[in-house]
């Protein structure tokens, strides 16, 4: 079984393909010592890493994964190679940048501000492209999240609840739960919901996988009997100008011990990080018995290895 050339969003993948990625990710997780010769599918190859946004986990995971598989990661700041501003035409076009990278590297992984940038790269590039985050989707995070859930809960069906902003992380988590047959519930304030067309698409997928998706206002209702409670920062990169308004709008949506008490007794707490203690999550929950956030961070490395291995083998 092959993966698509480009990994841009979860709906581009089948359930069998996600299972294959997870199988390889767990293989890498359990592997000790250096990579075997058969795993070094990137030997003699370079992968360009384009980052328009800051990153800790994603950048380190992919640089380490590329190196482990025998390749050379090449970090490219978006400021250096993409337009500095919407009206700045002094830089190269996306098409020319992509055609150049096709000659100099063997694949691209990109963390960008707008999904259109990825679409434009994919339309031109002959080499694999991985979405490391855009304004609407975060597929590598979602696959890492499902790996973390399987790590702790096995392959059984679970209920995953997201509390907070219907952002790119929430969207991809919804998509992968619908695809893999997990129930998904999200509680968001009015005006911060996942986009309607994305909700409708996930609902159609959930109907096929016999999972349930709920879109709610009340976080307590959403968390009821959840196996996993998930949140993300209320102020994402690029939204800093809305900080005061968002803090007010999300005041009821902080995940604390009281909210966790409505989930199952053995519920997990997850967060893609970076997190802000006492903002979207209390320190008691983030550092407490529920939390698997650093297993979740580690999973990013194993998923990066698995994706690259399957794309380049």
86 pLDDT higher than 80: no
Q: What percentage of the chain exceeds 90 in pLDDT?
A: 90
What's the average model confidence in pLDDT over 281-310? 98
Number of residues that this document lists for the chain: 313
Dmax over CA atoms of the chain, in Å, equals 57
Phi/psi region, residue 31 (left: phi>0; alpha: psi -120 to 50; beta: rest), is: beta
Tell whether the model's pLDDT for residue 284 goes beyond 50.
yes
pLDDT reported for residue 9: 98
pLDDT of residue 82: 74
Q: What's the rounded mean pLDDT across residues 145-153?
A: 98
Percent of the chain beyond pLDDT 70? 97
Return the domain boundaries, the chain. 6-137+300-312, 139-296
Compute the average pLDDT of residues 284-307.
98
Lowest-pLDDT range, 81-90, 134-143, 246-255, 274-283? Answer: 81-90
| pLDDT at position 249 | 94
* Angle at 72 (CA atoms; ends 90, 1), nearest 5 degrees: 105
Q: Which residue has the higher pLDDT, 85 or 303?
A: 303
**pLDDT value at residue 143:** 99
**Given a cut of 90, is residue 313 above it in pLDDT?**
yes
Mean residue pLDDT of the chain comes to: 95
| Residues 212-261 pLDDT 10s | 999 999 999 999 999 999 999 998 766 777 778 998 999 999 999 999 99
Are 20 and 1 in contact by the 8 Å Cβ rule? The answer is yes
pTM, two decimal places: 0.96
Residue 80 confidence class, pLDDT cut points 50, 70, 90: confident
Residue 90 clears pLDDT 90, i.e. is over it? no
Average pLDDT, integer, range 281-292: 98
What gap in Å lies between CA 277 and CA 291, rounded to an integer?
13
Written as six digits, the tokens of 270 are: 């997850």
Select 6-137+300-312's CATH number: 1.10.10.1150, 3.40.47.10, 3.40.50.1370, 3.40.50.300.
3.40.50.1370
Over residues 22-70, the pLDDT tens digits come to 999 999 999 988 999 999 999 999 999 999 999 999 999 999 999 999 9
Q: Is a pLDDT exceeding 50 seen at residue 85?
A: no
pLDDT at 89: 56
- Does this chain's domain 6-137+300-312 share its CATH topology with 139-296? yes
Between 79 and 212, the higher pLDDT residue: 212
For 139-296, CATH gives 3.40.50.1370
Q: In the structure encoding, which two tokens stand for residue 81, read together?
A: 């190679």
């Amino acid at each position: 079984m092959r993966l698509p050339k480009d990994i841009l969003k979860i709906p581009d993948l089948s359930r069998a393909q996600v299972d294959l990625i997870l199988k390889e990710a767990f293989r890498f997780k359990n592997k000790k010592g250096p990579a075997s010769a058969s795993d070094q599918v990137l030997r003699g190859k370079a992968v360009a890493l384009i980052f328009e946004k800051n990153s800790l986990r994603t950048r380190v995971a992919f640089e380490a994964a590329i190196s482990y598989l025998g390749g050379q990661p090449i970090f490219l700041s978006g400021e250096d190679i993409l337009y500095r501003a919407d009206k700045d035409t002094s830089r190269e076009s996306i098409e020319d940048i992509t055609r150049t990278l096709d000659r100099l590297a063997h694949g691209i992984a990109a963390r960008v501000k707008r999904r259109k940038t990825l679409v434009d790269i994919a339309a031109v590039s002959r080499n694999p492209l991985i979405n490391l985050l855009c304004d609407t989707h975060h597929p590598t995070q979602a696959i890492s999240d499902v790996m973390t859930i399987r790590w702790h809960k096995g392959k059984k069906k679970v209920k995953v609840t997201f509390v907070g902003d219907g952002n790119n992380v929430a969207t991809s988590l919804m998509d992968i739960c619908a695809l893999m047959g997990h129930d998904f519930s999200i509680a968001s304030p009015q005006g911060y919901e996942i986009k309607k067309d994305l909700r409708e698409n996930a609902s159609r997928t959930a109907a096929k996988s016999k999972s349930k998706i709920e879109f709610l206002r009340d976080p307590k209702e959403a968390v009821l009997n959840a196996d996993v409670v998930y949140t993300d920062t209320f102020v994402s990169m690029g939204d800093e100008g809305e900080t005061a308004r968002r803090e007010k709008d999300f005041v009821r949506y902080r995940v604390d011990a009281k909210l966790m008490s409505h989930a199952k007794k053995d519920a997990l707490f997850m967060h893609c990080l970076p997190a802000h203690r006492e903002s979207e999550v209390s320190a008691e929950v983030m550092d407490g018995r529920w939390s698997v956030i650093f297993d979740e961070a580690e999973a990013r490395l194993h998923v990066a290895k698995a994706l690259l291995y399957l794309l380049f083998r």
